[in-house]
Amino acid sequence: MPVLTLPFALIGLIALPAVAGIYLFRSRSKRRKVSSLMLWEIQRRSLASGVKRQRFEVPLLLLLELAALALMCLAAANPHVLRPDAREPLIVVLDDSFSMLAGARAAGMKELSLHFTDRKHESFQLITAGTSPRLLVPGAVGAGAARDALKEWTCLSPQADINKAIALAGAIGGPRAKILVVTDSPPAGEISGRIVWLALGQNLPNVAIVNAVRGPGRCLIELANFSSQSRDVALTINNAGATTKTVTLEAQSTSRLTLSPADDNAPLVASLADDALAIDNSITLLNPSQTPVRVKLDISQARLLEMAHKACEASGIARIGDLAPDVVVTDSPPGAGADGAGEWVVRILSGAGEGVSYTGPFIVDHRHPLAQGLALDGVIWGAGQADETAGDAGVIWAGDIPLLTERRLASDRREICLRLSLELSNIHQSPNWPILFHNLLSWRRQAGQRLTGVNVRLGQTVGVKARPGQSVVRVVLPDGNAIDAPAPAGVAAINVSQVGLHQVDQAGDGCSFAAGALCADESDLSRLCGGQWGQWADQHALRMHYHSLAALIVLGAAGLVTLHGFLVHRRWGGAIQ
């Protein structure tokens, strides 16, 4: 396809109607034989134009004049065509966000098939623009390999960072490469360089689930209507049976629903009817694990036992008993007490000798999980003077005296030492006491969970703890395929790239997490449009790979002008003489 380097020169084509108008309003004279011209001296010469409109005729001279004028305007635009032997690499940047599934991906596949069959490209490289750019093929490949690699263009990313992908394309392609961006929205600014931005989106109405959260006993679901008209939508909820709720959504608005699952242990699936974008019409929510922390109280002091028992019960997440405890609270000195696998030990040490009461100021490491929410103003903290905690990591100090410390042991166990004398303290009578135990039990429960998240969004990373002795974690994806994720430090990082239920270690103590396409910006199809911006023919490419047609067009225009002069001389030359 020819490239016009000076397209504004085509404005000269407005002269064509002017030339035709001169012919349209020209005056004519009829040939008559008379004996003398004495009486027609004033009309001896024919006028070339006039103001009286007459029936329009299209003489050959007019066509030649119009053609010559059009060719001169086209020559001024300086058109260039690609040389037959010029072949350049093409790098395709593919928008990988899930809004492309509303028709732009299918249109992009058809458009790319034309480029893959075009022999003007010597090689192809494909880059998907998701949260971060990714190469679909390791290097430059032919048209067949590029066509096969398009199968991995899934469009399942919550966003598309096209600028990063273009920067990567420019780095690996160099100045010779042409860059084609296939997306569904217009560029944010001017397109510079050898880049063609091809937008294939359509402005379509869409209703989507844009947010969903599940907690104990209830779920929150947010619906959005991305259209110019209000709509009544039916939300189907599957949880120990199917129910349907009708929700009225105003134009360009959202609505939040609070649901109470019939079965709090079963998955809850909420879905909408099919529309322009199907991926955001359904969400699966699992019940986040609320397994209580098993606590064993091995305390000999009656008052201290009572205070620890009340604090554990107030936390709401403790189950006090002796069977396979997760946490052992004891007043025995270091070297005695529980040392089972996976147990955390909390030692409340009164200390030997005369105790000391500290009134502050206290130094608190508020970044530590044990210190979240603690406020020790006005607190009296009494402790013995024995140094049983030397070498541990301090959490709370009174000057240079550590009052609360923690030590990491083997097998992910921890030992927490709390130096406290109830007779010299009032902290156990303040809100800080139950807060401290709640922080401890919450930290223990979080450390015991295999998953860092149960209900996640597309594009997130989920941490999965490997079982003891395992170096990989097997995850079955929603499409049925399984992957083995390495766990170098005992934790595998799973990048969520599919929507639906993911199952971890089905053969063992398996667990699951669910992912949803929850992104309002991608579900809003009203921002999409179609069009093309930019061009590949920069000044360097024009010099190296293109031929100018201006000289040939000027020769053609000169030939038409010569023919026009010849015809004029042939018809009226003798009369003019």
- Report domain extents, the chain: 3-77+549-576, 88-202+528-537, 293-448, 455-516
pLDDT in tens, 222-237: 999 999 999 999 999 9
- Other C-beta atoms closer than 10 Å to the C-beta of 284 total 22
| 308 close to 329: Cβ distance less than 8 angstroms | yes
Q: Which amino acid is at 361?
A: P
pLDDT category, 87, cuts 50, 70, 90? low
pLDDT above 90: residue 270 = yes
Q: What pLDDT, on a 0 to 100 scale, did the predictor assign at position 529?
A: 92
Q: Which amino acid is at 102?
A: A
pLDDT in tens, 488-510: 878 889 999 999 999 987 555 57
Burial classification of residue 269, based on how many CB atoms lie within 10 Å of its CB (0-12 exposed, 13-18 middle, 19 or more buried): middle
Q: Quickly list H helices, 378-431.
A: none
- For the chain, percent of residues with pLDDT exceeding 90: 41
Overall average pLDDT of the 150-164 stretch: 92
Report CA dihedral (116, 120, 126, 129) to the nearest 10 degrees: -100
Q: What pLDDT, on a 0 to 100 scale, did the predictor assign at position 103?
A: 93
| 358 close to 381: Cβ distance less than 8 angstroms | yes
Q: What pLDDT, on a 0 to 100 scale, did the predictor assign at position 575?
A: 45
pLDDT category, 394, cuts 50, 70, 90? confident
pLDDT in tens, 200-224: 999 999 999 999 999 878 899 999 9
pLDDT above 50: residue 46 = no
Q: Which amino acid is at 216?
A: P
Q: What pLDDT, on a 0 to 100 scale, did the predictor assign at position 48?
A: 45
Q: Cα-flanking dihedrals φ and ψ of residue 517, to 5°? A: -90, 85
DSSP state of 289: P
CA distance 222 to 265: 22
Architecture of domain 455-516 in this structure = Sandwich (2.60)
Q: What pLDDT, on a 0 to 100 scale, did the predictor assign at position 135?
A: 92
Q: What pLDDT, on a 0 to 100 scale, did the predictor assign at position 216?
A: 78
pLDDT category, 177, cuts 50, 70, 90? confident
Contacting residues for 363 by C-beta, under 8 A, at least 6 apart: 396, 397, 398, 399
SS3 219: strand
Tell me which of 3.40.50.410, 3.30.930.10, 3.40.50.720, 3.40.710.10 is the CATH number of domain 88-202+528-537: 3.40.50.410
pLDDT above 50: residue 438 = yes
Q: What pLDDT, on a 0 to 100 scale, did the predictor assign at position 542?
A: 54
Q: What pLDDT, on a 0 to 100 scale, did the predictor assign at position 249?
A: 93
Same fold, 88-202+528-537 and 293-448: yes
CA distance 358 to 379: 8
Beta strands per DSSP E along 107-205: 121-129, 133-135, 178-183, 195-200
Overall average pLDDT of the 136-152 stretch: 88
Q: Span 293-448: which CATH code?
A: 3.40.50.880
Task: Report residue 359 as tokens.
Answer: 């009134």
pLDDT category, 316, cuts 50, 70, 90? confident
Of 435 and 88, the one with more pLDDT: 435
CA distance 445 to 25: 95
**Average pLDDT across the chain, whole number:** 83
pLDDT in tens, 297-307: 999 889 999 99
Task: Report residue 239 as tokens.
Answer: 């949880």
pLDDT in tens, 362-385: 999 999 999 999 999 889 998 876
Q: What is the bridge-based pairing of β-strands 393-398 and 401-408?
A: antiparallel
Q: Which segment of 194-203, 283-292, 431-440, 568-577 scores lowest on mean pLDDT? A: 568-577
CA distance 177 to 125: 10
